[in-house]
Amino acid sequence: MLSFLNQRASKGEIVKMTVSSQVKVCYSSIKSAEATIQMLANKTQNKQTITAYKQAAQILSEVKVDLQEQVMYLLREEPQY
């Protein structure tokens, strides 16, 4: 939230930096969610549920790859970070 306040105050370097760290946080959350899904998929007995978990894990890993690229991109934009 703070970053958006900053953004309004000044469209400076600080803003982009916080955005990149926010994206990083989101990226790691996705990673953790994916791991949790895989763990739950291992624990459950039900085949239908396992398929749903696997599909979701697949989607999340796609999102993860995209976000990783975004993190790299934002880091390149902000070399001093």
Partner 1 sequence: MSIFEFISSIVLGGIVAFHSSDTTSPIMYGLIAMLIWFMIPFAVNFISLKKRSLRTFFQGKSTIFIQDGKVMEDNLKKEKFSTDDLLESLRAKDIFQVADVEFAVLEPSGLLNVLPKKENQPLTAKDLGLKLPPKKEPQTVIMDGEMILEPLANMSLNPNWLETELEKINVTIENVFIGQVDSDGQLTVDLYDDKIAVATPSEKPLLLATMKKCQADLELFALATENEQSKQIYEKNSEKLTKAIQLLAPILKN
**Contact residues for partner 1, defined by CB under 8 A:** 3-4, 7, 19, 22-23, 25-26, 29-30, 32-33, 36-37, 39-40, 43-46, 48-49, 52-53, 55-56, 59-60, 62-63, 66-67, 69-70, 73
DSSP state of 21: H
Which of residues 66 and 80 has its CB atom nearest to partner 1 in the complex?
A: 66
Which of residues 45 and 80 has its CB atom nearest to partner 1 in the complex?
A: 45
Closest approach, Cβ 80 to partner 1, in A, equals 19
Closest approach, Cβ 20 to partner 1, in A, equals 10
What CA–CA distance (Å, rounded) separates 56 from 66?
16
What CA–CA distance (Å, rounded) separates 32 from 19?
20
Q: How far is CA 74 from CA 12, 15, 16, 35, in A?
A: 14, 12, 8, 25
Closest approach, Cβ 79 to partner 1, in A, equals 17
Do the beta carbons of residue 16 and residue 77 sit within 8 Å? yes
